[in-house]
Chain A
Amino acid sequence: SQKIEQNSEALNIQEGKTATLTCNYTNYSPAYLQWYRQDPGRGPVFLLLIRENEKEKRKERLKVTFDTTLKQSLFHITASQPADSATYLCALIEYGNKLVFGAGTILRVKS
């Protein structure tokens, strides 16, 4: 089954900088890849979905890339703000149409 690796160390950045989070997977390339935001003690919230034939997807200050050769997705937040501080989860579609989630990366944006 798929294994997803997200950086377990928290990412600390200064307000206004671009945050880049990484999601690596081990097996076959999924048809879809999703990113979610989760705040402490709350359920995840969907942010973006990117398909395998899309190299890049944007939504406001968010950008996601999908490189099936590297088996990697990058999630960027430009002009980051303290309110962007949260855990960001990557999720892939597995055979049988099940979602597999990574453990997430904590982002801390300092003012």
Chain B
Amino acid sequence: DGGITQSPKYLFRKEGQNVTLSCEQNLNHDAMYWYRQDPGQGLRLIYYSQIVNDFQKGDIAEGYSVSREKKESFPLTVTSAQKNPTAFYLCASSPGLAGGFAVEQFFGPGTRLTVL
């Protein structure tokens, strides 16, 4: 059963703590992405990776970090430098470097992060 998994579904963090969100895919996709979604706003791109061991900043990368050591995994760390981290975080993947962003993106179920 192929797809994208994100864990945990709900995450609570105290101010000043770093937290890591997991994203795993078994679709054999080259490209992976992290988005943030806030109420009434569109998805905003945090980081993306088109190949293992390489990633680029999206539109709102400040306060976040990622790694891409394996093709199937793209964890996102929300650091204490992120001033307003409470949001719904979505991970996505898409096939092949040739397709780039043009082809459909497959999304995980999301992680809702709340800072207490």
Contact = CB atoms under 8 A, between A and B. Distances in A.
Interface of B is mostly: loop
B101 A89 contact: no
Contact of B102 (A8, A45, A97): A97
Interface residues of A, number: 22
B40 A103 contact: yes
A25 B32 CA distance: 25
Interface residues of B, number: 27
A51 to B, nearest CB: 9
Interface stretch (A11-19, A36-44, A61-69, A75-83): A36-44
Nearest to B48: A98
Contact of B43 (A8, A93, A97, A101): A101
Interface in A24-80: 31-32, 34, 41-46, 49
Given A42-B110, A101-B43, A49 B104 contact: yes
B106 interface: yes
Interface of A: 4, 8, 31-32, 34, 41-46, 49, 89, 93, 97-104
3 tightest Cβ-Cβ pairs between the two chains A and B? A43-B107, A46-B104, A101-B42
